[in-house]
Amino acid sequence: MPQEYTSIELCAGAGGQALGLHLAGFKHKVLIEIEKPACKTLMYNNDVHSLGWERIIEGCVEYFAEHEAHNYKGIDLVAGGVPCPPFSKAGKQLGKDDERDLFPAALKIVARTLPKAVMLENVSGLLEPKFDSYRSEIDASLNKLGYITFWKLLNASDFGVPQLRPRVVLVALRPEYADSFNWPDYKITPPTVGEALYDLMAKNGWTEVDNWKAKANKIAPTLVGGSKKHGGPDLGPTRSRRAWQDLHVNGNIVGNEPPEKNFTGYKDKEEFKNMPLLTVRMTARIQGFPDWWEFYGKKTPAYRQVGNAFPPPVAEAVGKEIFKALDAGNKAKKVA
């Protein structure tokens, strides 16, 4: 019988990382997420697809760290995607001075659960020189708890996801497992936007779909989910929308349905002639979610969940390497 490893998921969002780790073989004991629509998404998919996730908490990671984490001592993996605004180039990059920085809460959970492994992801800005000392503090905290740390910038496009989406991943392992850990060393060529979305764009018989596919001949720019304060049902700031326009997509709004047979453009604006809108389902595919994964809520909260997610194929690839390292370490213990 295959070995089972258990996990905690922090700041689970719509479940991108959780799904990837589930597919890598981890069994989620608890997932924590503060946003109600995202929690509904997690609960729905867990129930409908019988994922076996034991508990989904709608609440604050800091509260969990203080009052509940000790109940999960001995878990195999603590994983999560702590909020990115403190390190994002789109913000002020205040780092640990940003009240949204949840690295301290994540480290407290690690200290109280003492897992075999840790996996935390964030935006590429975290690797900038201005955060060197902050990363050193994180390393020092984990080293003090007995972990060896690994940092890596991973591009989602290397794992078959049709957008670049660079993300920083921190993996920390106890010494008996660290020697066996390797980052994924393969690359999967991603489809272009046209190739990835062709069947969805053609669903209602759009006559221009083949011409559109030929023009949407690159991978997508990084999806931007925005926040409650900033960002609505569109594909991001002006720079992002221009990049989408180069792919013959109107990024000014997220659509409700694929283009109809005689579609010529949203509100027939000449600037966007024959440029379709992306639906939430299309953006989810661009983010690497399987088509069976459903998102709770109306268009804006549903798209925000997609845009803020960690692509499941990337989480799965890293998760499999962590799984292998745990297996190797446990086998070495038995031999010894």
* Residues designated catalytic: 84
Inter-helix orientation angle 132-144/103-113, to 10°: 10
Number of H helices, E strands in the chain: 12, 7
Tokens of 323: 């799984």
Match 């000392």 to its residue by tokens. Answer: 133
CA distance 161 to 121: 17
Residue 72's closest CA among 121, 104, 28? 28
Q: Alpha carbon of 205 to those of 10, 200, 208, 259, 263: distances in Å?
A: 42, 10, 9, 8, 10
Q: How far apart are the first and last CA of the chain?
A: 22
Within 10 A of 182 (CB to CB), how many other CB atoms are there?
9
Cβ-contact 310, 36 below 8 angstroms: no
HSE toward the beta carbon, residue 241, CA cutoff 13 A = 16
- Picking from 71, 75, 105, the residue whose alpha carbon sits closest to that of residue 174 is 75
